[in-house]
Amino acid sequence: MYSFIFHYSATEEDSDQLVPQQIRALPSNSPRQPNCTCQGSGVFVLKDHIPKDQYDDIVKRRAEEYRKHHIRTSSSLNRLIFAPSNSPLQYPIQGFTVVPLRKTLIPGSLCKNLCPVVSWPSRPLERWDKEEQGEKEITVQSTSLSDLNNLLGQITYTNHHMTPPFPALSSAHFTFEHHEAVFPIVIQQTSVPVLYDIGNDINSRVSIVTKTFLRYTELQALISSIRTYYKDIKIIIADDSLEPQKVNGSNIEQYIMPPAQGWFAGRNLAVSQVTTKYFLWVDDDFLFTDKTKIENLVEVMEATPELDVVGGSVAGHGQFYFSLVYQDGNGEDGGCLNRKGAVTYQPVPGFPTCSFTSGVVNLFLGRTDAVRKVGFDPRLKRVAHSEFFMDGLGSLLVASCSHVSIDHQPKIENAKYSSFRNQQSKDIEDKLAHHFFKNHLKCVHYG
């Protein structure tokens, strides 16, 4: 008698957390992954609540945002790939992902025409299903190839423990005569899409964000320059000045903080109030010019949904950008981080003036949800910039573009501001000690 035998095997990492998983036979009349429905009492069909005169436009924008969201969040590892038919067995070798607590059909499992005929137990299918459900190992037998493949197409896998939001890995084994196959099973909770309606103009796509401290003269000059080119765009200001002053103007949001909370605390507050898909970060002593084209940065981001941050250049500083290279160390000493200035990687496709890099200057367009996930460490109060990109290394895709620039205002002597702004030796020591613990670093090299 010949038979197929399925059984699962958890990895060493998840063996204690992800059991019991089960492989089971699905009854022959069970539905195949039905689409979700919105029926019954207490259900709101959301499309019915969209203004009719805006419906078509909103649906079109929504579909485009979802397409870009899918590009951004999907991976080539999610693509379902089946083993070639160099053996009698076909099975998934990549891309089989299941949701915790949800029964999922194992796709592609079948026996090719080369499979010999095997004997089928005399018990009826319905009884066989009930007896085999919920097992970690299951045997499938049949004298008919079509019946055998029909049964194989009804095998499901269920993980019965809620897993962390990041992927966990299990595996399934099945054998036929002297043939054996193993395929991976990724267990991951499905995330809900978070989309931003970008509307039809720059004002609904981008907010301008800055942090100010004891520099109201420079801040007013910045605002005036913004309004020269963008009369209606929202400006968000985080202000931790010692004696705050009201900043007047249309579509300006000023958030007063406790005094002298610092650079990154202000960035966190300002970015937390952004409601647009993107924000443009500027320093409070910058000046917009005819070369400060926000639309050009948006164009790069929209054409490359995987991008998270796109920087420009600042007069007097040029197109500042840098690479970050992290090397794992041992568990005791920690890793090594190397920052090297003026290093880029390959060009951004379709934009010859833009190149991928690791970090950029203080003029940058940020993808709101991606930047929030990394955040700005509020312990860094005085001088801090590359530390944000250090924390985002491996999760933020960054590029620098030379075709968008901004001016820098002439320096105004401000002794009180300088006393807070300039790093003291203790600040440097504290920051390095912070990196040692927080980032588990052995050393940092600034080149």
Between CA 22 and CA 10 the distance in angstroms is: 11
* pLDDT score of 239: 98
Q: Do 23 and 184 touch, CB atoms closer than 8 A? A: no
Task: Kindly give the pairing relationship between strand 4-10 and strand 235-239.
Answer: unpaired
**What's the mean pLDDT in 230-257?**
97
**For all residues of the chain together, what is the average pLDDT?**
83
| Residues paired with residue 10 on neighbouring β-strands, in sequence order | 170
* pLDDT score of 48: 83
The dihedral over CA atoms of 60, 66, 67, 72, expressed in degrees to the nearest 10, equals: 150
The yes-or-no verdict on residue 99 having pLDDT over 90 is no
The yes-or-no verdict on residue 256 having pLDDT over 60 is yes
* pLDDT score of 16: 39
* pLDDT score of 123: 36
Between CA 19 and CA 31 the distance in angstroms is: 26
The candidate with the shortest Cα–Cα distance to 411, out of 284, 325, 299, 296, is 284
Lowest mean pLDDT among 244-258, 317-331, 332-346: 317-331
Q: What is the pLDDT of residues 70-89, one digit of tens each?
A: 888 777 666 777 766 566 77
* pLDDT score of 184: 84
Q: What is the pLDDT of residues 365-381, one digit of tens each?
A: 999 999 999 999 999 98
The distance of Cα 62 from the centroid of its chain, to the nearest Å, equals 19
Between CA 233 and CA 201 the distance in angstroms is: 10
8: confidence class by pLDDT, cuts 50, 70, 90: low
The more confident residue out of 140 and 219 is: 219
Q: What is the pLDDT of residues 168-188, one digit of tens each?
A: 878 887 777 777 778 888 888
DSSP 137-166: EEEE--S-HHHHHHHHTTEEEEE-SPPPSS
Lowest mean pLDDT among 99-103, 259-263, 369-373: 99-103
* pLDDT score of 150: 80
Sole residue written with tokens 């039905």: 34
The candidate with the shortest Cα–Cα distance to 187, out of 169, 172, 161, is 169
41: confidence class by pLDDT, cuts 50, 70, 90: confident
**What's the mean pLDDT in 354-367?**
97
